[in-house]
Structures are given as C-alpha cells and as structure tokens.
Structure 1
Amino acid sequence: MSDRTREFATAVVRRLHDAGHVAYFAGGCVRDLLLGRPAKDYDVATTARPEEVREIFGKRRTLAVGQSFGVIIVLPSPQDGISPVEVATFRTEEDYRDGRRPSRVSYCTPQEDAQRRDFTINGMFYDPLDCRVLDYVGGERDLAEGLVRAIGKPQDRMREDKLRMLRAPRFAAALEFQIEDATAAAIRDMAPELTVVSAERIAQELKKMLLDRHRRRAVELCLELGLLMVVAPELQTVEFAAARDRILRALGLLHEPSFELSMAVLFQTLPSDAAVVELCRRLRLSNEETARMAWLIAHQHDLRTASSWSAARLKRCFARPESRELLEMLRVQLLAEEGDLHPLLFCEEFLVRTPPQELNPRPLLTGADLIAMGLSPGPRFRELLEAVRDGQLNGELRTPEDAREWVRRASAANPS
C-alpha cells in the first residue's frame, strides 16, 4: 500500500513538473524515507497555485479542502485503494491569532516555506524525479543526531501552533530521539498555553501517543515538560504521584492496546466514575470511549480476587467484550508492581479450560417461559431469571426442564 501511494505521489510530482512547476515531497514522508521507515502519507509542495493544481488534475480528481491556505487534495482512482495526496503551494504564514491558523498566507520559495514548518526533521523536501534531498533547515543533521529541534526560534514555532508542544514529545518518543534543549525549554515555559488548543486536537495527539509502542516514553516526556498536568489537571494528586513510576512501567508493558485501555492505565488513580466522565467530556471523547474507559478503571481490581468467584461470576465477567482488556490491565499492573501473578494465571487457566460457547450459552428460560408457567410479570421475574442463569452457568441446571422445576420449587417456597 505504501509503495503504491508513493508511486501515485511521484506521478503527481511528475504531472506538476511537466506542467512547468517545481514540486517535491514534503514534511514527514521525507523524514520517514530518510529513516527507512514506511511513510503513512505523502504530501507534495509546489510552486503551482491552488487553482492551477485543480486545472492540471481536474476538478473531479481534486478537493479544495484548504484552498485559502494553498492546499488541494488530489484523489487517486477509486479502484486503486490508496491514500490521496495533499498538494500545497509553497507559502509563508503570519499572524497566528488563535494559536493554530494564520490570518495571512503568502506564496513563496521552497527555502522560505521550510522556515514556517515545525521541526527540522519535518522541514525537508525530496525530489522523487531526481532522487535528491533539499534541506534548508538542518534536518538531515538532526536526523543523524537523533534530535527533535524546532526550526528557527522555538518560541515562535510553538506560538504559531501550540499543539506542536505535544507533537514534539510524540515524535521524540516514536523515533527514539531526544528533544533539543532550547526546544524543550521553550515547551516548558509555554506549556500553560496548551489550554487554548481545542480538546479534539489534544485528544487526537493523545491517541497517537498512546497507540504507539513507545507510549511510555511519550508520557514521560509530557510529564517532564509539564504538559500532561495541563491536559489533565486531575493527575495533580498524591495518589498519582505515588503510583507514577508504576503506571509508566505498566504503560510500557501493554501489548497493542486500544486507546481506552491505555487511557485507563494512565488514569487509573482517578477516584470515581464522575471524575473519569468529566475528563472524557473535556477531551470530547465519544460516549463509547468514555463508558469503556470508566468500566475498566472501576473494575481494575476485581480480577485480583477471581479465584474466590463462583463459575457463574467468572463466566459473566469473561462474556463481556471488555474483559480481555481488563485481564491485560491486570497483567501489566501486576508486572509493574512486581506482585503475585496468581490472579493472572488463574484467569488465564480458566479461559483455557472453558470453551467460549460456555461463557454465554443460550438461556434455559426467558420471561415468556415464566408467563407460560402461569407466573405474572413483575420484579420477581428478574430475580428468578437471574437465579436460573446463575444455576445454568454454575452447571447446576442443564436443561430447560431442570430450570422450570427449580422455578416451581422457588415459587412454592416463596409465593410472593
């Protein structure tokens, strides 16, 4: 997929070149190519104006999603099944009044365009037709030295788009780089200004950090730079301070977790469902993400006593889709605290010896069955059905007739 996207992006550059324009790969894809990593997306920078890009590729094959900022999306053929390519005109940007968007854009040379970008490692261009790198900001040097360095004055770059303060630790962690000293100092000084960034953009950066295998280092850097406490002041507690190192170890031990599981591990010291819901509301997380994260945090200690549970309780727990994540949370917590692994081993052994279909078998009785037996609907219905279900899961009731006989006896003993 990446190779085919690169071929398409190269074809876009060639088409622009043939039309008399300068065009290069730009940004993160250049960084990834130089590092020998697969590029997720390919961006192209060009001297062609937005209207010229649309004229060259046709309006049916382009989307003017950011034309006022000089950005056009060029679409591949639907049957290609590859990513579109973003084509941007070389530009300078000024007057970032909202900490993100410039109020004035001017077209310029590649050298000038490079100066407005965030970090040197993201500020290079690559000509796929001549196979040459164009580096006006020292990006190749910083790639070789393993540094995330802001282009120009770090304070200016962070002021232009304050989300860059979160992007720096994400890049540093993912690439196993260090953040250059002046850049790190600027982020520490300006960290409180992160509050002006929209919750949606902050949540998107958190997702990228926490879904990456270097999530522990990313969170460590966010703590060192004073960013995490701005994003989540809920963590400014004695409980989090005491558990900090253990939580960081647990984050590093997670194996391909969901975003919700990573968040549950990071925010496991939140004291209540209400605190979890408030955090998720502020970050504009979905109701599903909120519910899943809250459930994991609320039940994070349950499995430690699983060896004393009935078979019914075990089966009810592991029939839930979230239960495997709860088990993974137990695993990393026990390993991080170097605790007794018996609860983990017990749960794993239970799942090995219990066929999946036994975790949530078809109920022996339904409400309709109780009515057919002459019982009237009411609060007692739920109690009887729950008790029958427990008997079924515990292996005490095996057939519908067993269940009906149990209900008859229970009803006779307690007619109310």
Structure 2
Amino acid sequence: MKHSEPYLAAVEIVRKLRDAGFQALWAGGCVRDLLLQKEPKDYDVATNALPEEVRTLFGKRRTLAVGASFGVIIVRGHQPDCDVEIATFRSEGPYLDGRRPEHVKFTTAEEDAQRRDFTINGMFFDPINDAIFDYVGGKADLNQHIIRAIGNPLERMQEDKLRLLRAIRFAATLHFQLEETTRLAVQAMADQINVVSPERIADELRKMLVHPARSQAIALVQETGLLKQVLPELTPLWESAENQDLWLHTLDRLKLVNTHNFETAFATLLLDLPAAGPDQRLNEIYEICKRLRFSNHSLNLVHWLVQQRNSLEHAPDMKLSRLKRLLAHEDCPHLFELIAADLSSQKQPLDDLEFCRQYRDHTPREVLNPPPLISGNDLIDLGIKSGPQFKHLLTQVQDAQLEELIHTQDEAFALLNQILQK
C-alpha cells in the first residue's frame, strides 16, 4: 500500500524517537481517522521524551518550541504538509480560565489519555508494530458511532469550554450520536461558551459550516442551547412561533447549499436573520462578523452575498451593464451557490439563475468584463478635476461600453463630450 508523505514522515519521527530509547506513539485525531479509514489531515506524536530531549534529538533548526511549557514541540518536515507535533505524555493541573491548564506534569501514556477530550480522540497507535493502545474505550465508541467525553463530562468541558462546540462538530460531521451524559453536560454549560475567544469559536463554526453535514451541526448547536449564546441574533427564529417556519427553512437551505466555502455557508445561515428591514439586517451581519473577528475579506464577502440575495431576479430583462457587472464579480460563483440553495429551499424555479450561469459560461471574458475604454488619467488630461463627478463620468462611459453601444476609445471620448455638453 502506498502511503502519503505526511504518513511516512510521521513514521520516521516515531522510529527516530524509538531508536533513541524513548516511547513514541501516534495520538489523538490521526488515530481516530485511520480507524475510520480516512487520510488524517496531520499526525501528532506522543512520547515520554521531554521537550528539550526532542529538540536535541531533531535539532534546534528543525524544531519549533510552540508550547514547550506544555510539552509540545513541532518538528518541521521536509515538505510544508509534513510538520509533526510531538507532545510529551502529560497530566494537567486545574483549568482556571476554561482554556488552558495552570500547570502540567509529565507522565505516562495511560495518564495522558485521561486528560483528552473524547474517547474517540484518546487512543494511541504504534505505526511500527501496527498496534492500538486504548485506555478509554475509544475503539468501542468508534464502532458504535458515539461521542463520549472521557471521564466526567462536566469536568472535561470545564477544562476547555471549546469542547462544548467540538462535541457537536464531531457528532455532526462523523454522523455519530452524542452520548447522553455528554449531551447533558453540553446543555448545562452552554451559557459558558463565551469565555472562549471569538477566534476559537469562529474556527469551530468554520469547521462545521464547510462540512456537508452543516445543517445537522447547526441544528444540534441550536438544540443544545449553544447557538443562542454564539449567535443570539438568530434566537427569534426558533423562540417565536411566527418565525419557526423560517428556522426550518434556514436548516433546509443549509442542507441544500452545495459549497466548500465558509462565507457562503455562513451567509446562507444568516439570510433570514430577524431585522426591521434589509439595511438593518446588513448592519447586524456586519456586527456579527466583527464580533467573531472575521478577516475583512470574510466580512465583506458575507455582507455582499446577503446583500445580493435577490440580485439575479428577472435577469433576462436586466440592463446589460448591471448583469455583466454582477456576473464578472470574482465571487459570483459563491452567489450562484447561495441563490440556488435559497430558491430550491422555497421550491422556486431556477430559470433566472440558469440563464445567468449560461450567460456567464458562454460569454467571453473580454465581453463580460472588458478593459475600460477611458481612465481617470484621461479625464485629468481633459482638465476635469477629481471629485464625485469623476466616478460618475467613468461609470456612464463604462455602462455604454458594457451595453455594447460603444466599442472604441474614440467613441468613448465622443460620448464623454456629449455628457459634458449636457
């Protein structure tokens, strides 16, 4: 069987640690994924070697001490996707901030397993001898499709409250069931999720929403009380009897949106955000994205997608200049995905959308988005001073170009003279 480069790199790291007299095993998510016969995204190694011993063995230039105080060293691979995180077996002191332990104690693999979040993530694998080490019942839960916290669920969630959302994500994306006491712990502690940084919460939402099981994930986040804390603006959709159909419609739309793009999925979730009007909705979406610390790119894309929800209606009758500008937009494919899901969830025809797809696919790029025939410099050369009129003049000339009323620079200047004379 042919193995990937990251797999081989992770095997070599285990072998090198073993040859130096240390214990070394793969740990956590990569073991879960291998047992599910999935290719792991990355590989983590757990060892009894101390952080300084790891750095000495692999060399200071090849290692990064990203979390040495917690026993974590990254060993750089020979390729970008071959980096491996090496963590010393540890037990952890109390989590006073709901994020990280006050101190750690280096220990054994069995004790190390007890500090991990869920049983399916608490197993170890020996890639040299092809052996599983399972001290927490992870393999049985994996076979029975169960997400179960290791030990006392309330204690596990108390240690790192992001686990409240992680429990939901694993259940939804793996199509597993939340074990009852684990589910009750999530519900009991839902109102504490906001002690977690907005960036970490947004990252969990991202992982849920880029997955095809996004609708199941959001439904479970809502049922456990977490969505009310993370996106309180949506609460009227399920708490108000008159809006409940909109909430079911939102879940249907999430199920139907065919995308790998987080911003498209997030916009799909927020399309029916309760608000006094479209402008108010857009303002609230802006505030939500800021609160979750989205990048400017993500914020602007979510905002634009919601704003353009109905922009393709009656597309065959639309002015060519407006249609071409929309279809030439770099994020137009994401808009198609959102509108297709929105219309399908309402059992509305897709004729206008299909017209736009065909037009975009069969119109040469130089016709859809031609280089402007005149520029701002041309206006300056004509003695026109920069100001609000500047953009208006350029837009009028470009509209005529997109409407295919003018085709050359001479025609553009002639039109400009007509506009100026008026």
Deviates more, 1:278-287 or 1:47-56: 47-56
Give the C-alpha shift of residue 382 in structure 1. Answer: 3.4
Contact 1:264 1:293 (C-alpha < 8 Å) held by counterparts: yes
Contact 1:303 1:327 (C-alpha < 8 Å) held by counterparts: no
Map of 1:155-304 to 2, 5 A cutoff?
Answer: 155-238=154-237, 241-270=244-273, 271=275, 272-304=281-313
Please give the alpha-carbon distance, in whole angstroms, between the structure 2 residues aligned to 1:204 and 1:91.
26
Give the C-alpha shift of residue 302 in structure 1. Answer: 1.6
Which residue in the other structure is 2:278 paired with? Answer: none
Please give the alpha-carbon distance, in whole angstroms, between the structure 2 residues aligned to 1:407 and 1:185.
69
Identical-residue share of aligned pairs (%): 46
Deviations 1:370-414 (A, max 9, x none): 4555766654443333222111111111222222333333333x2
Deviates more, 1:6-15 or 1:138-147: 6-15
Please give the alpha-carbon distance, in whole angstroms, between the structure 2 residues aligned to 1:316 and 1:5.
43
Deviations 1:299-336 (A, max 9, x none): 21121232331111101111211222112211110111
Please give the alpha-carbon distance, in whole angstroms, between the structure 2 residues aligned to 1:258 and 1:295.
14
Please give the alpha-carbon distance, in whole angstroms, between the structure 2 residues aligned to 1:130 and 1:379.
73
Which residue in the other structure is 2:414 paired with? Answer: 405
Q: 1:148 to 1:393 in 2, by over 3 A?
A: same
Please give the alpha-carbon distance, in whole angstroms, between the structure 2 residues aligned to 1:13 and 1:379.
65
TM-score (norm 2): 0.92
Unaligned runs of 5+ in 1: none
Please give the alpha-carbon distance, in whole angstroms, between the structure 1 residues aligned to 2:243 and 2:265.
15
Which residue in the other structure is 2:73 paired with? Answer: 72
Which residue in the other structure is 1:319 paired with? Answer: 328
- Secondary structure in 1 matching 2:85: strand
Which residue in the other structure is 2:55 paired with? Answer: 54
Please give the alpha-carbon distance, in whole angstroms, between the structure 2 residues aligned to 1:376 and 1:29.
63
Q: What is the aligned length?
A: 411
Contact 1:2 1:40 (C-alpha < 8 Å) held by counterparts: no
Please give the alpha-carbon distance, in whole angstroms, between the structure 2 residues aligned to 1:370 and 1:104.
67
Contact 2:31 2:125 (C-alpha < 8 Å) held by counterparts: yes
Contact 1:388 1:403 (C-alpha < 8 Å) held by counterparts: yes
Deviations 1:258-291 (A, max 9, x none): 2111111111123422211211111111112111
RMSD of Structure 2 on Structure 1 (CA): 1.9
- Secondary structure in 2 matching 1:389: helix
Contact 2:48 2:89 (C-alpha < 8 Å) held by counterparts: yes
Give the C-alpha shift of residue 240 in structure 1. Answer: 6.3
Deviates more, 1:366-375 or 1:92-101: 366-375
Please give the alpha-carbon distance, in whole angstroms, between the structure 1 residues aligned to 2:41 and 2:297.
27
Q: 1:355 to 1:159 in 2, by over 3 A?
A: same
* Aligned residue identity for 1:333: D
Please give the alpha-carbon distance, in whole angstroms, between the structure 1 residues aligned to 2:162 and 2:419.
63
Please give the alpha-carbon distance, in whole angstroms, between the structure 1 residues aligned to 2:135 and 2:260.
39
Contact 1:240 1:269 (C-alpha < 8 Å) held by counterparts: no
* Aligned residue identity for 1:275: E
* Aligned residue identity for 1:48: A
Which residue in the other structure is 1:344 paired with? Answer: 353
Deviations 1:118-157 (A, max 9, x none): 0000000111121110111111101110111111111111
TM-score (norm 1): 0.93
* Aligned residue identity for 2:26: F
Contact 1:92 1:105 (C-alpha < 8 Å) held by counterparts: yes
Q: 1:378 to 1:283 in 2, by over 3 A?
A: closer
* Aligned residue identity for 1:89: T
Give the C-alpha shift of residue 363 in structure 1. Answer: 1.7
Contact 1:126 1:134 (C-alpha < 8 Å) held by counterparts: yes
Please give the alpha-carbon distance, in whole angstroms, between the structure 2 residues aligned to 1:408 and 1:69.
71
Unaligned runs of 5+ in 2: 276-280
Which residue in the other structure is 1:30 paired with? Answer: 31
- Secondary structure in 2 matching 1:65: strand
